[in-house]
Structure 1
Amino acid sequence: MKKTFVIFYSLIIYAVAQLVWWGYMLVAPHPRPLSMVLCEGSMFILVFTFGAINLHKAINKERKLQEQKKNFLLSVTHELKSPLASIKILLQTIQKRNLSREQVLDFIDKSLNDVERLDDMVENMLLASKIDNRSYSFPKASFNLSVLVDSIVNRLQITKCDCNQQIIDAEIEPKIEITGDKFALTSVVTNLIENAVKYSSPCSAVGVKLFSKDDKVFLEVADHGIGISDNEKTRIFDKFYRVGSEDTRNTKGTGLGLYIVKEVLDKHQASIRVRDNRPAGSVFEVVFG
């Protein structure tokens, strides 16, 4: 928005200066050559047109950003209400009904899963805010990435396969050590796996691979979901951007996950790319080193 105001006020100053100059030329006693008048007029039209085009682009960009922010707020509201409603129902059921110990423990486990989902969402928003404000220093230390990925897979793992559930197949090479910000990289792995689960069909497998090769560490997360078109592959890491149309999209999300992934990996001199899976879906490949 700052750039928009700079362009706007620059155009105003230039237009006023040109009006003063042309006024002077009209009242000056000395006649001006026609070539000078045409040159000044052409320059005025050229600069004004250039500024107007850039101003239009800046305003249009700002409009799209405001629309994305509005969609983000609506998505966050829905994302928060869903697990909260689930937790409320589960706790009310425990409170009002005479359940067996096994049923109570099952309901508590489901409630804790919803709490973890809320916790992940809040951590995402806090981390995105710190990245935007440049208030996060990304403290780095050596840690076992294999243990980290395994723990996240186990937490997100779904062992049953009924409606709306997936199975995560993991191939994790043991004892892979890297130096990085463990908290931020936890968010990276969590977001990639949760995205794969979210955009996969019910009961379709999600693949997670962690391995080292040629002094580099590779993390691959593959799904068999809706896939990503080529023109969207360059945009999915933008803040608030989500695949598909707002009118037809069925999946939940805030548009912050892949933005955080890209920003965190950039701070670790790591790369990420997305390619098509076969026969359907996407593969996200992260390379450290």
Structure 2
Amino acid sequence: MRPLTIFYIIVFYVIAQLFWWATLLIAFNPIRKWMIVGEGVVFLSLMAFGAYTLHKAFNREKKMNDQKKNFLLSVTHELKSPLASIKLYLQTIIKRDLDVETQRNFIRKSLLDIERLDDMVENMLLASKIENNSYSFPKESFNFSDLVEKVVGRLQIHVCSKDALVTHIQPDIYVTGDKFSLGAVVTNLIENAVKYSSGCDPIHVSVEKIESGKVSFKVADLGMGIPDEEKPKVFNRFYRVGSEETRKTKGTGLGLFIVKQVLDYHQAQIKVKDNKPKGTIFEVLLG
């Protein structure tokens, strides 16, 4: 039997006993009737509030457990797919007499899958360290424009054409912060846009200094978009937008969680806006 069911059976039993004893006390001492009723109302109010709070806690815990299960299933799939691909490429190279160019092509594709695995492992390690407060976020001044250019160049191979990632990056914009974790922010936001874009729709990546003196980093896609009611939730750990179309897309639900945690540490802002005619814009403002 579920713990919540047992709890409500106990609550029902306590309330029934309360009414029973209240009836007996009133019958025994009618003069104190309203005092007994008042104390009973207070007790019932506290009992109702406690039951409601516990019910919410149980539901929250159940939701978190369901998200963890989905996360484990997603991670298993994310690991299995590139590993199977790498294994197939290597077995083909060993078993068949391939020309040098084909071998190099298979090795390049294997390296892409390894890079994908490496990104996922780094995300999980960073999320774990942030949650355990064991990541120190070492600060330094570095060329943010150069960092974004390098991430775009590395992720260019994951899109359908060289024109799919469109950049508008002002050169030599420097920020002070943790280069590794801010690199994870850039990678996760661009990968997120690639993941939820369809076909060869362009993804616009920009870096510029705005009038306030802050550095603006934007990633704009023409994907499925995010409903307004879902926007505040997308940065929660393990959370994925609830549409069936989104659930079929690969992902662990950690990317945007890491983005928000890293930016909060850097006292930076992130805004989620609708793109026109469709899609989403993520804008990061670094001080």
TM over 0.5: yes
Match runs of 1:37-116 below 5 Å: 37-116=36-115
Contact residue 159 and residue 194 of structure 2 kept, 8 A: no
Amino acid aligned to 2:168: E
Determine the C-alpha separation between the residues in 1 that align with 2:150 and 2:251: 23
Q: Compared with structure 1, are the counterparts of its residues 172 and 248 closer, same or farther at alpha carbon in structure 2 (3 Å cutoff)?
A: closer
Match runs of 1:177-196 below 5 Å: 177-196=174-193
Determine the C-alpha separation between the residues in 1 that align with 2:276 and 2:243: 24
Amino acid aligned to 1:178: V
Amino acid aligned to 1:48: M
Match runs of 1:213-228 below 5 Å: 213-214=210-211, 215-228=213-226
Q: Does 1:141 align with 2:136?
A: no
TM-superposed deviation, 1:244? 2.5
Amino acid aligned to 1:139: P
Match of 2:199 in 1: 202
Deviations 1:230-287 (A, max 9, x none): 0101110111110124687321000000000000000001000111111111010000
Determine the C-alpha separation between the residues in 2 that align with 1:81 and 1:32: 75
Match of 2:3 in 1: none
Contact residue 240 and residue 247 of structure 2 kept, 8 A: no
Determine the C-alpha separation between the residues in 1 that align with 2:199 and 2:79: 22
Match of 1:273 in 2: 271
Determine the C-alpha separation between the residues in 2 that align with 1:184 and 1:247: 29
Amino acid aligned to 1:82: S
Identity %: 61
Q: Compared with structure 1, are the counterparts of its residues 33 and 192 closer, same or farther at alpha carbon in structure 2 (3 Å cutoff)?
A: same
Contact residue 158 and residue 168 of structure 1 kept, 8 A: no
1:249 to 247, 266, 271: 247
Q: Can you give the 5+ residue segments of structure 1 that lack an aligned partner in the other structure?
A: 1-7
Describe the SS at the equivalent of 1:210. Answer: strand
Deviations 1:65-108 (A, max 9, x none): 11011000000000001111111111111111222222222111
Match of 1:4 in 2: none
Match of 1:5 in 2: none
Contact residue 158 and residue 166 of structure 1 kept, 8 A: no
Contact residue 166 and residue 204 of structure 1 kept, 8 A: no
Deviations 1:219-240 (A, max 9, x none): 0001111010101011101111
TM-superposed deviation, 1:30? 8.1
Match of 1:3 in 2: none
Q: Compared with structure 1, are the counterparts of its residues 119 and 99 closer, same or farther at alpha carbon in structure 2 (3 Å cutoff)?
A: same
TM-score, length-scaled by structure 1: 0.87
Describe the SS at the equivalent of 1:55. Answer: helix
Q: Does 1:176 align with 2:173?
A: yes
Q: Can you give the 5+ residue segments of structure 2 that lack an aligned partner in the other structure?
A: 1-6
Determine the C-alpha separation between the residues in 1 that align with 2:79 and 2:176: 33
Describe the SS at the equivalent of 1:53. Answer: helix
Total equivalences in the alignment? 273
Determine the C-alpha separation between the residues in 1 that align with 2:268 and 2:245: 35
TM-superposed deviation, 1:39? 1.0
Describe the SS at the equivalent of 1:234. Answer: helix
Match of 1:258 in 2: 256
Describe the SS at the equivalent of 1:45. Answer: helix
Higher helix share: 2
TM-score, length-scaled by structure 2: 0.87
Q: Compared with structure 1, are the counterparts of its residues 143 and 171 closer, same or farther at alpha carbon in structure 2 (3 Å cutoff)?
A: same
Describe the SS at the equivalent of 2:203. Answer: strand
Structure 1 vs Structure 2 CA RMSD: 2.7
Contact residue 225 and residue 280 of structure 2 kept, 8 A: yes
TM-superposed deviation, 1:188? 0.5
